[in-house]
């Protein structure tokens, strides 16, 4: 499996498919047949510096590691409007219009409230 996600974000159901390895964390973690081949880490000091920098600017964040997933204190509240918009956009993207020769563009724009 090759993913930008950390190992902690891949539930057991994914592994149960039968993967024999993983390239994860945007290439920072490589595992083959249960053996860690490469694991590039940041230090605790680097992590503290990053978190302090984000806090100092009032930014919310979501940290991923193989140990777990860690959100800033107000991440959930800050992310809620964006996640709501994403859910609406996804629902709109799942809708299929009619053929272009059957007024497909008109039907799509009308359905999406653009006209």
Q: Is residue 5 part of a domain?
A: no
Query: For the whole prediction, is pTM greater than 0.75?
Result: no
CA dihedral 63, 64, 67, 72 (to 10 degrees): 20
Domain that holds residue 96: 74-115
Q: Is 23 within 8 Å of 1 (Cβ atoms)?
A: yes
pLDDT digits (tens, 9 = 90+) for 62-103: 898 888 889 999 999 999 998 888 888 877 777 788 888 888
Using pLDDT thresholds of 50, 70 and 90, give the confidence band for residue 112.
Answer: confident
**Is 103 inside any structural domain?**
yes
How many structural domains does the chain have? 1
Q: How far apart are CA 29 and CA 42, in angstroms?
A: 12
Q: What is the mean pLDDT of the chain?
A: 89
């Amino acid at each position: 499996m090759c993913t930008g996600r950390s190992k902690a974000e891949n539930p057991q159901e994914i592994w149960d498919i039968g993967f024999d390895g993983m390239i994860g964390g945007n290439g920072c973690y490589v595992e083959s047949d249960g053996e860690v081949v490469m694991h590039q880490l940041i230090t605790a000091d680097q992590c503290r510096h990053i978190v302090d920098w984000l806090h100092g600017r009032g930014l919310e964040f979501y940290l991923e590691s193989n140990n777990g997933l860690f959100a800033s204190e107000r991440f959930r509240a800050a992310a809620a409007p964006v996640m709501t918009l994403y859910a609406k956009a996804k629902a709109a993207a799942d809708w299929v219009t009619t053929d272009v020769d059957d007024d497909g563009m008109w039907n799509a724009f009308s359905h999406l409230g653009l006209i």
